[in-house]
Amino acid sequence: MSYRTNNRPLGSPKQLRGVSLIELMLSMAIGLVLLVGVMAVFFNSRTAYHSSESQVHLLDDGRYALHLLGQDLRMAGSIGQNSWLSGVQGRALDSSPNGGPLVPLAGDCEPLWYINMDRKVEASNDANPYGGSCIPASYRLGSDVLVVRYANATAVSDADLQVGMTYAQSTLGRSQLFTAGADPTPTFAPDQNHRLEVHAYYVANFTDAVGDGMPSLHRISLAPGPRLTDQVVVPGVEDFQVQFGISTCQTPPCSGLDQSVNQYVNANAINWADPLAVNNIFAVKVWVLLRSQTEEQSINTDASFNLGGRTLAFVGVDNFRRLLLSSVIQIRNRGN
């Protein structure tokens, strides 16, 4: 008995020929070209992502710095229910018969600096005005120093006063500074207690540790003790400049139009010892120059920035992206 099968005869050696070496190499070359293209797209996308991320971080940091500065400056001179600084008992220039100013503070920038409420704002132009007494030697030369004083808007009950913290107790007609647990507490009625806020902004040559090479915006603040503390506000700030919007009408009475900003001047153009000169400040313009916290390769860092009349030019490649932001803040509390 015979059986038929569907098996076909094997082909000839020519029909069984595989891929040649040339074909294999050509395929590998094409694949390598495609792989290089894919990798180039990947690295370009990765570089673009990091570049965009760096720009976003710079913008976020700059906006936060301006927000904090604006928040302080808009409150400058507020003293609770009473904004007439010349009537605040316990301040540095207080000559009232019921005690005069509060006690000096150890480590203060200047004698009674922390309660010098007659200067709701003050500043120095391109220099540290305190000679290292409260702002450390790490201060970045050529940057401005800005000081703001006011009472926090949130009222604190007598039961919630923090020992060692300085407060302003106020009514609609008068106010007095006191340190909880140290000075006699005023007994105004009805009264409100408001924590005293004193901040000095400056640029330091480091962020987390001396010598780390990352400049940053710092803030000296009044803390419980009372004492002064130094904290980092925003890393990567290379320069900080301020100018003050004043009215050139110096002989009252002035019209409402005259009592508005018609000139911006640097800090050294204002007599800070004169309360009337301080009260003639209607607005503050601030500039913050930031740089990226990490280097970016192959970017053009040649740039020139103008910060209130001060020009900073960066020539050559240092691989740091930079951003300049500015803002104008109106002074709301003008009582004197």
pLDDT along the chain (336 residues), means of 10: 54 59 79 78 63 75 94 91 79 80 90 93 94 87 95 89 91 84 66 91 88 90 94 94 87 60 92 89 95 79 86 81 93 73
* Host H or E run for residue 6: none
Where do we find the tokens 């207690």?
193
CA atoms within 13 A on the CB side of 45: 6
pLDDT at 335: 61
CB 190, CB 250: distance < 8 Å: no
CB 312, CB 289: distance < 8 Å: yes
Residue 6: inside a domain: no
pLDDT at 222: 95
CB 170, CB 188: distance < 8 Å: yes
d(CA 310, CA 38): 46
* Residue 23: how many other CB atoms lie within 10 Å: 10
3-state per-residue secondary structure call for 231-276: EEEEECEEEEEEEEEECCCCCCCCCCCCCCCCEEECHHHCCCCCHH
Residue 16: inside a domain: no
CB 151, CB 80: distance < 8 Å: yes
pLDDT at 213: 83
Residue 39: inside a domain: no
pLDDT tens digit string along 116-148?
Answer: 999 999 999 999 999 878 998 889 999 999 999
Structure tokens, 313: 């030019």
CA distances from 259 to 6, 31, 252, 280 (A): 108, 75, 10, 8
pLDDT at 175: 84
Residue 26: inside a domain: no
Structure tokens, 272: 């800070």
CB 304, CB 313: distance < 8 Å: yes
Residue 202: inside a domain: yes
d(CA 219, CA 228): 10
Q: Which domain holds residue 197?
A: 46-330
Residue 27: inside a domain: no
d(CA 166, CA 160): 13
pLDDT at 192: 81
Instruction: Specify the number of domains making up the chain.
Output: 1
- The bridge status of strand 121-124 relative to strand 175-179 is unpaired
